[in-house]
A and B are shown apart, each in its own frame.
Chain A
Amino acid sequence: AQKVTQAQTEISVVEKEDVTLDCVYETRDTTYYLFWYKQPPSGELVFLIRRNSFDEQNEISGRYSWNFQKSTSSFNFTITASQVVDSAVYFCALSEARSKTSYDKVIFGPGTSLSVIP
């Protein structure tokens, strides 16, 4: 069975601090995809990143970076120099790979609510 755990329910940081959101996943699939989504108070799901299981390279996009470690089944997300606009719920998610270019239904973790205080 697939499962995603986000141990941090809520995190509060002061603006400009760095913050890391933890994600641990379980799957029996040999090929799978991992994701991070942001859900601001308005409710929409904002796609942040997708990684496949055969690519363990870390990725940086502006103030965002992701650390994928297959050995520990973790896919952590770091926001550098946090801003008030980063306040949202962040979901880590997992999906079975349907092929090299597509995936199946998305299994979400419980989410981490991040509050960035000015």
Chain B
Amino acid sequence: AAGVIQSPRHLIKEKRETATLKCYPIPRHDTVYWYQQGPGQDPQFLISFYEKMQSDKGSIPDRFSAQQFSDYHSELNMSSLELGDSALYFCASSSRTGTYEQYFGPGTRLTVT
């Protein structure tokens, strides 16, 4: 069965650079969630989208922005990267009209040097 796809899987950036993470939800899923997991931490909710509209917002820095496109894929844009942005970023998708699960992608590991 198709799973959530995240790209790239690994990304190395320098401080003050910009990064874009991409998430491709499971087909027919209309909702996307982004989570950030710092080293030794639990995943923290950043932002979610339903039908291309932002549906909820967590502790997402102002330097970060995200959107969901017409094909339901989502991108998380991070500017002016800081060392503290080094983390594992998970995307998850679900369907409001379907049943249950929020399926997590494999994550993108971002390292800021």
- Which A residues lie at the B interface, using CB under 8 A? 43-45, 47, 50, 91, 95, 98-99, 101-111
Contact = CB atoms under 8 A, between A and B. Distances in A.
A105 B33 contact: yes
Interface of B: 33, 35, 41-45, 48, 56, 58, 88, 90, 92, 94-96, 98-104, 106-107, 109
19 contacts: A43-B88, A44-B107, A45-B43, A47-B101, A50-B101, A91-B42, A101-B99, A102-B100, A103-B100, A104-B56, A105-B48, A105-B58, A106-B35, A106-B43, A106-B45, A107-B45, A108-B43, A110-B42, A111-B42
B83 to A, nearest CB: 19
Contact of B109 (A43, A99, A103): A43
Most chain B Cβ neighbours within 10 Å, of A44, A104, A105, A111: A105
